[in-house]
């Protein structure tokens, strides 16, 4: 039992909640409970105006991610080509729920872009990540995937799959950017009531 109740919109946990650092477990069987949870994950993502939401962010330690990433467009609204195979395959399907997603390889090329997170509300900071990734996953009630993903999709996948490993993006923010957002992060942590919480940084 997932113990998510009957509410359509789930509670998104915020920095300071230890559940955000729990490593998610594999989904062993896709049943009606998982399907219902997938729908609620999408509804919660939309209600919070996000482009991605991991199950761990709503207190469910399973390897499930909801995504809605649109393809890149120019000022006139035209899709910028060429798309990566992953963008071409997935963007027109959005929203999608990925079951047991994993990144099997990362590009050597890196880029730094600003990120935000529903679990760290109203805070944005630059994070360096690989430009593209190879994703392996199962779409909920859809086909298995093995795709090279680039663009915003690649970044969103890395961000959300970090959540499944118990990592929040602010742990990847380098100095001096980290120090700039630290007072705001501490305010969020205080609201959580977890006096013993500290941010375990993964970069310096």
What are the structure tokens assigned to 90, written together? 């997935």
**C-alpha–C-alpha distance, residues 120 and 100, integer Å:** 24
Q: How many CB atoms lie within 10 A of CB 92?
A: 11
Q: Give the residue from 127, 123, 128 showing the smallest Cα distance to 185.
A: 123
94-124 tens-digit pLDDT = 999 999 999 999 999 999 999 999 999 999 9
**Residues 31-84 pLDDT 10s:** 999 999 999 999 999 999 999 999 999 999 999 999 999 999 999 989 988 899
Element (H, E) at 63: none
Among 63, 67, 68, which Cα is nearest to 34's?
Answer: 63
Strands (E), the chain: 52-54, 64-67, 96-106, 110-117, 120-130, 133-139, 144-149
The architecture (CATH level 2) of 18-192 comes to Alpha-Beta Complex (3.90)
Residue 8 pLDDT level (bands cut at 50, 70, 90): confident
**Catalytically active residues, by annotation:** 160
Measuring CA to CA, which residue among 179, 177, 199, 203 is closest to residue 188?
199
- pTM exceeds cut of 0.75: yes
Alpha-carbon distances, residue 138 vs 53, 57, 82, 112, 154 (angstroms): 16, 20, 24, 28, 16
């Amino acid at each position: 039992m997932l113990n998510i109740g009957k509410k359509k919109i789930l509670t998104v946990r915020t920095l300071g909640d230890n559940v955000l650092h729990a490593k998610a477990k594999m989904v062993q069987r896709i049943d009606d409970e998982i399907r219902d949870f997938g729908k609620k994950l999408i509804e919660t993502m939309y209600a919070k105006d996000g482009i991605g939401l991991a199950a761990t962010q709503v207190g469910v330690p399973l390897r499930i991610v909801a995504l809605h990433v649109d393809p890149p467009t120019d000022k006139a609204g035209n899709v910028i080509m060429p798309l990566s195979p992953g963008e071409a395959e997935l963007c027109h399907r959005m929203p999608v729920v990925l079951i047991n997603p994993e990144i099997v390889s990362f590009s050597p090329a890196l880029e730094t872009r600003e990120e935000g997170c529903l679990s760290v509300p109203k805070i944005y900071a630059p994070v360096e990540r690989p430009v593209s990734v190879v994703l392996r996953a199962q779409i909920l009630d859809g086909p298995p995937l093995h795709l090279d993903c680039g663009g915003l999709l690649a970044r969103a996948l890395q961000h959300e799959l970090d959540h499944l490993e118990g990592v929040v993006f602010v742990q990847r923010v380098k100095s001096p950017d980290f120090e700039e957002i630290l007072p705001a992060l501490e305010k969020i942590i205080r609201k959580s009531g977890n006096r013993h919480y500290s941010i375990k940084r993964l970069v310096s």
